[in-house]
Amino acid sequence: MAESMNVSTPDGDFRCYVARPSGEGPAPAVVVIQEIFGVNRFVRAVADRLASQGYLAVAPDLFWRIEPGIDITDQTEAEWKRAFELYTTFDVEKGVEDIAATIEAAREDKGCNGKVGAIGFCLGGLLAYLTATRTEADATVSYYGVGVDNFLGEAERLHRPLMLHIAGADQFVPKASQDRIVAALRNHPCVTIHQYPGRDHAFARDGGQHYDAADAETANARTAKFFTDNLRG
């Protein structure tokens, strides 16, 4: 069942899209971290899928400081232009603070059993990595995060499970950046890395230009098992 949640911060309040599981009793929660298009149809679909798997899914509106309620697609040039404007304006540090506040709000929700994970895509993939290094999320998944290699020094803070899905032909994450990420994290005891040769950025965005159904299904199955192992175990 879809609804909304209000999260309060010292800077103001923002809204989250919430999808609740149908089962009775408290369940683990997963915070769904948006791409550069806001809490749009794809993000809501991810939340709905997680709810169907038995999780309380919460997708915070991280662009609220710029403009609340951004909901655009990747289908037109004008929307891409707006998305990149939002991306360059967005404050990553404040975004991580908002995610931390969302994690705490989800953890306090009556429908949560106390375990909270996070999953993010694109910009949200970077934010997912930073969520793993800076917050008390119990398990985190990053899909094709842009700019992760700029924060590899934070890997020493990792103390809970993190899974990375890396697109081998990502136009926004050059091969050199991918190599730095893998070299820095592949031997970390908390990190699992999956690489998808030939896949471009956003290969798991259903309906997107670079969507690959087979690899998206593989990545999503790995994510589902990861959350089962780390949020239900």
Spatial strand order of the sheet with 56-60 comes to 2-9, 12-19, 56-60, 27-33, 112-121, 139-143, 162-167, 191-196
pLDDT of 80-130, one tens digit each?
A: 999 999 999 999 999 999 999 999 999 999 999 999 999 999 999 999 999
> Which of these is catalytic: 61, 74, 149, 170?
170
Question: And the tokens for 220?
Answer: 């999503």
> What is the mean pLDDT of the segment spanning 221-225?
98
The dihedral region occupied by 32, where left means phi > 0, alpha psi between -120 and 50, and beta the remainder, is beta
Per-residue confidence (pLDDT) for residue 24, from 0 to 100: 77
* pTM over cut 0.75: yes
For residue 170, indicate whether it is catalytic: yes
Structural domains present in the chain? 2-231 (3.40.50.1820)
DSSP 151: G
Question: Out of 98, 149, 165, 201, which one is annotated catalytic?
Answer: 201
Query: What pLDDT is stored for residue 1 in this prediction?
Result: 58
Question: Would you call 201 a catalytic residue per the annotation?
Answer: yes
Q: Please report which confidence band the pLDDT of residue 229 belongs to, taking 50, 70 and 90 as the band edges.
A: very high
Whether the pLDDT of residue 217 is over 80: the answer is yes
List the structure tokens of 73.
Answer: 């697609």
Average pLDDT for 176-184: 98
Beta strands in the chain (DSSP E): 2-9, 12-19, 27-33, 56-60, 112-121, 139-143, 162-167, 191-196
